[in-house]
A and B are shown apart, each in its own frame.
Chain A
Amino acid sequence: MDLRAQLARRSRDARWVAAALALGLILATLVYALVQRGSELPSALVTNRVLLFALWYANVVLILVILFVLARNLIKLWLERRTGALGARFKTKLVATYIGLSLVPVLALFFFASQLLQGAIDRWFSASLSQVLAQGDAVAHALQDTIESRNWRDAARLAQEIQGQDLADPAGRTAAGRRLTRGREETGADLVALFDGDDFVQAVLDPRSGLADLPEIGRALPREAARSGRAGRVLEPPGARGRLILAAAAPGGRPGGRLVVVVGTLLDPATATRSEELIQAYQTYRQLEIQKGEFKVSYLLMFVLVTLLILLASSWTGLFLARRLMTPIQAFSEAMRRVSSGDLDQRIEVAADAEMSSVVESFNRMTEELSRSRQLIERSNVELTEANRGLAEERALVAAILESLAAGVVALDGQGRVLAVNGAALQMLRLRGSEVAGLPLVELLESGARAELEGLLHGDAPERTASQVSFPVGGTWRTFDVRIQPLPGPDDGPAGRVLVVEDLTELIRAQKLATWTEAARRVAHEIKNPLTPIRLAAERLRERSRQPGADAGELVERSVDVIVREVGNMQHLVDEFSRFARMPGPQLAATDFAPLVADVAGLYRDLKPGVEIAAEVEPGLGELWVDPEQVRRVLINLLDNAVEATEAPGLVSVSVRRAGASVEIAVADTGRGVPPEDRDKIFLPFYSRKGRGSGLGLAIVHRVVSDHDGAIRVEDNAPRGTVFRIHLPARGAPLPETGG
Chain B
Amino acid sequence: MKAFPALLLAGLLAAPAAADEPAVRELSIALDGVQVLASFRLGDGMTAELRERIESGLPTGFLFELDLLRDRKRWWDESLDSTRIEVVAMFNAVTREYLVNTKLDGKLIDSRTLRDPEELEHVMTRFQAVPVFVLRSPSHRERYLIRVRAELGTGNLLGLVPVMRSTDWLESNKVRFRKP
Are chains A and B native binding partners rather than an unrelated pairing?
A: yes
Q: List A residues at the B interface (Cβ < 8 Å).
A: 44, 47, 49, 52-53, 56-57, 137, 141, 233-235, 243, 275-276, 279-280, 282-284, 286-287, 289-290, 293-294, 297
CB-contact partner of A287 in B57, B96, B159, B160, under 8 A: B57
Residues of B21-38 at the interface with A, using a CB-CB cut-off of 8 Å, are none
**B93/A53 in contact, CB under 8 A:** no
**A137/B58 in contact, CB under 8 A:** no
CB-contact partner of A293 in B56, B58, B96, B156, under 8 A: B156
Q: Nearest Cβ in chain A — how far from B92, in angstroms?
A: 9
Most chain B CB within a 10 A radius of its CB, from A137, A243, A297: A297
B117 at the interface (CB under 8 A from A): no
**A290/B96 in contact, CB under 8 A:** no
Bound: A47/B95 CA distance, A: 22
Contacting residues, chain B, for A297 (C-beta < 8 A): 156, 159-160, 162
Contacting residues, chain B, for A293 (C-beta < 8 A): 156, 159
Residues of B1-60 at the interface with A, using a CB-CB cut-off of 8 Å, are 52-53, 55-59
Contact A234 B93, CB 8 Å, known A283-B57, A294-B162: no
Q: Nearest Cβ in chain A — how far from B117, in angstroms?
A: 15
**A276/B94 in contact, CB under 8 A:** yes
Q: Could you write out 5 A-B pairs with CB less than 8 Å apart?
A: A283-B56, A283-B57, A286-B56, A287-B58, A297-B159
Bound: A280/B56 CA distance, A: 10
**B93/A56 in contact, CB under 8 A:** no
Bound: A52/B154 CA distance, A: 10
Contacting residues, chain A, for B159 (C-beta < 8 A): 293, 297
**B58/A290 in contact, CB under 8 A:** yes
Q: Nearest Cβ in chain B — how far from A230, in angstroms?
A: 12
Bound: A287/B95 CA distance, A: 18
Interface string of B146-159 (1 = CB under 8 A from A): 00000001101001
Residues of B119-162 at the interface with A, using a CB-CB cut-off of 8 Å, are 153-154, 156, 159-160, 162
Contacting residues, chain A, for B162 (C-beta < 8 A): 52-53, 56-57, 294, 297
Contacting residues, chain B, for A137 (C-beta < 8 A): 93
Q: Nearest Cβ in chain A — how far from B60, in angstroms?
A: 9
Residues of B158-173 at the interface with A, using a CB-CB cut-off of 8 Å, are 159-160, 162
**B93/A279 in contact, CB under 8 A:** yes
Q: Nearest Cβ in chain A — how far from B156, in angstroms?
A: 7
**A282/B93 in contact, CB under 8 A:** yes
Contact A290 B56, CB 8 Å, known A49-B154, A53-B154: yes
Contacting residues, chain A, for B53 (C-beta < 8 A): 290
**What 7 A-B pairs come out closest when comparing CB atoms?**
A286-B56, A283-B57, A234-B95, A287-B56, A279-B93, A283-B93, A287-B58
Contacting residues, chain B, for A290 (C-beta < 8 A): 52-53, 56, 58
Bound: A289/B52 CA distance, A: 11
**A280/B58 in contact, CB under 8 A:** no
Contact A234 B156, CB 8 Å, known A287-B58, A290-B53, A294-B162: no
Contact A286 B154, CB 8 Å, known A234-B96, A279-B93, A297-B160: no
Residues of B65-96 at the interface with A, using a CB-CB cut-off of 8 Å, are 93-96
Contacting residues, chain A, for B59 (C-beta < 8 A): 44
Number of interface residues of B (CB under 8 A): 17
* Closest residue on chain A to residue B160 by CB atoms: A297
Contacting residues, chain A, for B56 (C-beta < 8 A): 283, 286-287, 289-290
Q: Nearest Cβ in chain B — how far from A534, in angstroms?
A: 160
Contacting residues, chain B, for A284 (C-beta < 8 A): 57
Most chain A CB within a 10 A radius of its CB, from B52, B56, B153: B56
Contact A234 B52, CB 8 Å, known A56-B162, A287-B58, A293-B159: no
Q: Nearest Cβ in chain B — how far from A130, in angstroms?
A: 12
Q: Nearest Cβ in chain B — how far from A63, in angstroms?
A: 12
Bound: A47/B58 CA distance, A: 8
Bound: A282/B55 CA distance, A: 11
Bound: A601/B56 CA distance, A: 168
**B57/A286 in contact, CB under 8 A:** yes
Contacting residues, chain B, for A279 (C-beta < 8 A): 93-94
Bound: A155/B142 CA distance, A: 61
* Closest residue on chain A to residue B56 by CB atoms: A286
Contacting residues, chain A, for B95 (C-beta < 8 A): 233-235
Bound: A127/B94 CA distance, A: 23
Interface string of B84-117 (1 = CB under 8 A from A): 0000000001111000000000000000000000
Most chain B CB within a 10 A radius of its CB, from A141, A283, A297: A283
**A243/B94 in contact, CB under 8 A:** yes
Contacting residues, chain B, for A282 (C-beta < 8 A): 93
Contacting residues, chain B, for A280 (C-beta < 8 A): 93-94
Bound: A588/B112 CA distance, A: 167
Contacting residues, chain A, for B52 (C-beta < 8 A): 286, 290
Bound: A626/B44 CA distance, A: 157
Q: Nearest Cβ in chain B — how far from A633, in angstroms?
A: 143
* Closest residue on chain B to residue A233 by CB atoms: B95
Bound: A52/B162 CA distance, A: 10
**A49/B58 in contact, CB under 8 A:** yes
Q: Beyond the given A47-B58, A290-B53, A293-B156, could you list 16 further A-B residue pairs with CB under 8 A, ordered by the A residue number?
A: A44-B59, A53-B154, A141-B96, A234-B95, A234-B96, A275-B94, A276-B94, A280-B94, A283-B93, A284-B57, A286-B57, A290-B52, A293-B159, A294-B162, A297-B159, A297-B162
Contacting residues, chain B, for A243 (C-beta < 8 A): 94
Contacting residues, chain B, for A283 (C-beta < 8 A): 56-57, 93
Contacting residues, chain B, for A49 (C-beta < 8 A): 58, 153-154
Contacting residues, chain B, for A275 (C-beta < 8 A): 94
CB-contact partner of B55 in A56, A141, A286, under 8 A: A286
* Closest residue on chain B to residue A50 by CB atoms: B154
Most chain B CB within a 10 A radius of its CB, from A141, A235, A286, A293: A286
Bound: A141/B156 CA distance, A: 34
Q: Nearest Cβ in chain A — how far from B86, in angstroms?
A: 13
Bound: A137/B57 CA distance, A: 13
Q: Nearest Cβ in chain B — how far from A188, in angstroms?
A: 23
Contacting residues, chain A, for B153 (C-beta < 8 A): 49
* Closest residue on chain B to residue A282 by CB atoms: B93
Q: Nearest Cβ in chain A — how far from B161, in angstroms?
A: 8
Q: Nearest Cβ in chain A — how far from B41, in angstroms?
A: 24
* Closest residue on chain A to residue B90 by CB atoms: A44
Contacting residues, chain B, for A141 (C-beta < 8 A): 96
* Closest residue on chain A to residue B95 by CB atoms: A234
Q: Nearest Cβ in chain B — how far from A255, in angstroms?
A: 15
Bound: A282/B96 CA distance, A: 13
Q: Nearest Cβ in chain A — how far from B120, in angstroms?
A: 15
Q: Nearest Cβ in chain A — how far from B111, in angstroms?
A: 13
Q: Nearest Cβ in chain A — how far from B2, in angstroms?
A: 45
* Closest residue on chain A to residue B49 by CB atoms: A290
* Closest residue on chain A to residue B58 by CB atoms: A287
Most chain A CB within a 10 A radius of its CB, from B94, B153, B160: B94
Bound: A150/B141 CA distance, A: 66
* Closest residue on chain B to residue A291 by CB atoms: B58
Contacting residues, chain A, for B160 (C-beta < 8 A): 297
Bound: A53/B59 CA distance, A: 15
Contacting residues, chain A, for B156 (C-beta < 8 A): 293-294, 297
Q: Nearest Cβ in chain B — how far from A574, in angstroms?
A: 151
Contacting residues, chain B, for A235 (C-beta < 8 A): 95
Q: Nearest Cβ in chain A — how far from B96, in angstroms?
A: 7
Q: Nearest Cβ in chain A — how far from B110, in angstroms?
A: 15
Q: Nearest Cβ in chain A — how far from B52, in angstroms?
A: 7
* Closest residue on chain B to residue A289 by CB atoms: B56
Contacting residues, chain A, for B93 (C-beta < 8 A): 137, 279-280, 282-283
* Closest residue on chain A to residue B53 by CB atoms: A290
Q: Nearest Cβ in chain A — how far from B171, in angstroms?
A: 30
Bound: A47/B56 CA distance, A: 11
Most chain B CB within a 10 A radius of its CB, from A57, A234, A275: A234
Bound: A233/B58 CA distance, A: 21
Q: Nearest Cβ in chain B — how far from A486, in angstroms?
A: 108
Most chain B CB within a 10 A radius of its CB, from A49, A52, A243: A49
Contacting residues, chain B, for A234 (C-beta < 8 A): 94-96
Bound: A617/B29 CA distance, A: 162
Contacting residues, chain B, for A47 (C-beta < 8 A): 58
